[in-house]
Amino acid sequence: MIKFGLLKSKIEKTLLESYGKNTFKNEMKNFKKFVLENKNISKLFYLYDEMNSNKGLNESVVDDYINECITIYENTINKVKGKEISEISSWVSGTQSENDYQIIDDLFSTNILTIESRISSRKLLKESLKKSPIQKKNAVNLPLSTMVNIANKTINNYVENLSESEKKELIDFLKSDDENLKTEFNTLKESVKSKLNTMKEESEDSQIKSRIDETLEKVSNEKYDKLNFFKLKNLNENL
């Protein structure tokens, strides 16, 4: 079976590339179908995200944290059906990607020939998990679900991939009158909140509902500036 970290990398690259191809909404539907609506796949997706993050853990607990993650992985991956992996593999078959989660895959490997790699991966993960989380300024940090996180990640990389004409359009946007944008910003906030509430009503996962509540509070408290307007506008279009 394909390593889950590689599969996750291909999924994320598929979504990122789709933004430039104007197929992002369709790919997000696939993501919702194959990942978010599958309890075990979504749990693995979240687990890899957590292990790939700086968490500021103390030396006294980091080994316990890693051991617990290994247990969760083993209990979850055994519940994933081969057909489910095959469907995802087929969806992203046209995407070529490096494995951004190779270290985590090595840690979770049960191959007796990879013991040395597992030990090395554990050491590397311990160091990253002990690092303090990176605080990003002026970012729309919406911990709703992996879907919203990926949408937000796409927006953050959006400007770098703009054509010259699109960059000019963005510059013109940045020169727009603030008073008009402030009014539209409030409208955007209400639209995003409405969509989040709809997602909350449709979800049966209590954990996701809790994150939606957190996100709704963050959106409600978001202050206007042009960068936040631009990101919120794109997020609204991609939800």
Q: Report whether 8 contacts 88 (CB < 8 A).
A: no
Give me Rg for the CA atoms of the chain: 19
Q: Is the pTM value of this prediction over 0.85?
A: no
| Average pLDDT over every residue of 44-52 | 91
Query: In the structure, what pLDDT confidence band is assigned to residue 163 with cuts at 50, 70 and 90?
Result: low
Res 79: pLDDT: 95
Highest mean pLDDT among 87-91, 109-113, 163-167, 174-178: 87-91
For the record, the structure tokens of 120 come out as: 């090395």
**Rounded CA separation 192/235 (Å):** 8
Whether the CA torsion 157, 25, 204, 44 is positive or negative: it is negative
- The conformation of residue 114, written as its DSSP 8-state character, comes to G
